[in-house]
């Protein structure tokens, strides 16, 4: 079918007029939405979509927003899992997992970083040993968001120590509901506990839950990370305000989001809260200070340029272009903006910026910004990693010398 904007708008509007009911059960509605292909219309028809161009998804979103219709489950890591399965999984894995990702019945986390290999993702030392029809997993992951309520995890582990480090990795789906998996929350200095350590002690993964072949782990992980970096700012896409729409389905969705979005409540502060700068500068009179005004202008220019870069990336995605290095450009820009925003907030508030709680500026939000901003330069790949990606893949510069070639067992660690 040749999709056009008019055809898409007419079809989705007709579907919603016939089927949308805010008094339906959330799970019942999402299953109907999935069966009709309007939950993820750009996905293949075989996998609950309509083979629609990405560029027309905004039309579907407009029609859903017009009537206040709830969409499929999109928050958290689940869509990273779905996109990874679509790109690299087999039909049995897609059949087993995709629907329950979209209905929200099963939640996911991402088991990548380790204490000794955060940014050096390929240096993973979590072991995967094939015994009969099961992979036996031993090791540790850290900085794992939402592991404390995950049903499944995307796991990168090492199955072969006798080959170079990028070649010895495999990619798995790990079931959290088993013996041998322990989750320990990590308390952050900003008061939140979004992250966890996860320990594996002879945890089991059936061979049917290995994604791709042994040794494909690095390439599959890059797919996951490129989706993560491209969509880093969209974590709250489904947590929008419903305006004047009422009905029990919204209460069910709100309860779901209350659990899933709780680990991310500090993410806007991590990004620097640029939205607070101008109102506070005007309210405090800092806008009249030439030095402060210069830094504010610099921040606003950086922020607007990042928006344009994000729009370019979105346009490429809508045109069906493969994931590219624009995710690294956007993430590095986000780090620079956050640091500049923290500087500006300090210029505006002075020593009061460190006051937390209700007595602090913006009820302590400014202090939380100053504590949270350093994290954005680390999470999801450090600034240094992003600069390497940009220099090598965008600018075509020579790769830096490596000291970790050869069999991974012989590479110095930590």
Q: How far is CA 382 from CA 86, 183, 288, in A?
A: 27, 24, 36
Of 134-138, 237-241, 257-261, 337-341, the range with the lowest mean pLDDT is: 237-241
The DSSP letter of residue 117 is: B
Tokens of 305: 């340029």
The token pair at 113 is 């970083």
Q: DSSP letter at 152? A: E
- In this prediction, residues 334-347 reach a mean pLDDT of 96
Measured N-to-C along each axis, helices 277-284 and 326-349 cross at an angle, to the nearest 10 degrees, of 10
Convert the pLDDT of each residue in 278-324 to its tens digit: 999 999 999 999 999 999 999 999 999 999 888 877 777 667 676 66
For the segment 327-338, the average pLDDT, to the nearest whole number, is 90
- Dihedral sign for Cα 147, 206, 177, 116, please: negative
Confidence at residue 402, expressed as pLDDT on a 0 to 100 scale:
81
Packed helices 277-284 and 290-318: angle between N→C axes, nearest 10 degrees: 160
| pLDDT tens digits, 224-247 | 988 776 665 444 444 444 556 889
Work out the mean pLDDT of the chain and round it to a whole number: 91
Cα–Cα distance between 194 and 196 in angstroms, integer?
7
**In the numeric block, which tokens belong to residue 1?**
């079918």
Taking the C-alpha atoms of residue 236 and residue 72, their distance in angstroms, rounded to an integer, is: 14
User: Is residue 178 a contact partner of residue 135, using CB atoms and an 8 Å limit?
Assistant: no
Contact (CB, 8 A) for 319 and 55: yes
Q: What is the pLDDT of residue 243?
A: 57
Given this model, what pLDDT does residue 5 score? 93
| Positive or negative torsion for Cα 38, 40, 41, 43 | negative
CA–CA gap between residue 344 and residue 15 (Å, rounded): 48
DSSP state of 114: B
Return the axis-axis angle of helices 326-349 and 290-318, rounded to nearest 10°.
160
- On the question of pLDDT at 175 being above 80, the answer is yes
Percent of the chain whose pLDDT exceeds 90: 71
Higher pLDDT, 25 or 228: 25
Indicate the burial class of 397 (C-beta count within 10 angstroms; 0-12, 13-18, 19 or more).
exposed
Please compute the mean of the pLDDT values over residues 11-24 and round it to a whole number: 96
Mean pLDDT over residues 160-168, rounded? Answer: 96
91-138 residue pLDDT tens: 999 999 999 999 999 999 999 999 988 778 899 999 999 999 999 999
User: How high is the pLDDT of residue 233?
Assistant: 46
Average pLDDT score over residue span 400-408: 85
| Beta-bridge partners for 173 | 154
Overall residue count recorded for the chain in this entry: 414
Domains of the chain: 5-75+236-262 (no CATH), 106-232 (2.40.110.10), 266-315+323-394 (1.20.140.10)
Question: E strand or H helix at 268, and its extent?
Answer: helix 267-270
Would you give the distance in Å from CA 212 to the centre of its chain? 22
- Cα dist from 80 to 18, 131, 159, 293, whole Å: 31, 29, 23, 40
Residue 322: the pLDDT is 65
What CA–CA distance (Å, rounded) separates 175 from 187? Answer: 24
Give the mean pLDDT of 176-193.
93
pTM for this one? 0.84
Average pLDDT for 53-71: 92
Strand residues in 123-282 grouped as ranges (E): 127-131, 134-141, 152-158, 169-175, 181-186, 195-206, 210-211
Output the pLDDT for position 161: 96
């Amino acid at each position: 079918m040749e999709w056009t904007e008019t055809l898409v708008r007419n079809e989705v509007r007709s579907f919603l007029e016939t089927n949308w009911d805010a008094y339906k059960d959330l799970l019942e509605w999402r299953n109907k939405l999935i069966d009709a292909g309007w939950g993820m219309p750009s996905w293949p028809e075989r996998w609950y979509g309509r083979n629609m161009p990405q560029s027309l998804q905004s039309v579907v979103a407009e029609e859903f927003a017009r009537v206040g219709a709830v969409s499929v489950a999109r928050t958290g890591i689940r869509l990273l899992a779905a996109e990874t399965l679509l790109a690299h999984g087999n039909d049995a894995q897609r059949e087993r997992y995709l629907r329950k990702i979209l209905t929200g019945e099963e939640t996911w986390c991402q088991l990548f970083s380790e204490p000794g290999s955060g940014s050096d993702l390929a240096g993973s030392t979590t072991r995967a040993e094939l015994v009969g029809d099961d992979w036996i997993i031993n090791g540790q992951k850290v900085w794992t968001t939402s592991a404390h309520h995950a049903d499944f995890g995307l796991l990168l582990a090492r199955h072969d120590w006798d080959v170079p480090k990028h070649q010895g990795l495999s990619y798995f789906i790990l079931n959290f509901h088993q013996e041998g998996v322990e989750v320990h929350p990590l308390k952050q200095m900003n008061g939140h506990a979004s992250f966890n350590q996860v320990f594996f002690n002879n945890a089991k993964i059936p061979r049917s839950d290995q994604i791709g072949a042994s040794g494909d782990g690095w390439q599959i992980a890059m797919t996951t990370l490129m989706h993560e970096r491209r969509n880093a700012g969209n974590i709250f896409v489904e947590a929008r305000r419903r305006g004047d729409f009422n009905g029990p389905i919204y209460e069910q969705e709100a309860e779901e989001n209350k659990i899933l979005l709780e680990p991310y409540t500090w993410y806007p502060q991590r990004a620097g809260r640029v939205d607070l700068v101008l109102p506070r500068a005007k309210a405090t009179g800092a806008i009249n200070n030439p030095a402060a005004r210069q830094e504010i202008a610099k921040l606003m220019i950086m922020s607007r340029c990042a928006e344009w870069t994000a729009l370019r990336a979105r346009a490429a995605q809508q045109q069906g272009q493969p994931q590219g290095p624009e995710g690294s450009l956007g993430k590095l820009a986000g780090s620079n903006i956050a640091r500049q925003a923290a500087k500006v907030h300090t210029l505006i508030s002075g020593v009061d910026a460190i006051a937390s709680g209700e007595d602090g500026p913006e009820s302590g939000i400014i202090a939380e910004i100053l504590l949270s901003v350093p994290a954005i330069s680390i999470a999801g790949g450090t600034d240094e990693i992003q600069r390497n990606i940009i220099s090598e893949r965008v600018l075509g510069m020579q790769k830096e010398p490596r000291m970790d070639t050869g069999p991974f067992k012989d590479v110095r660690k930590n």
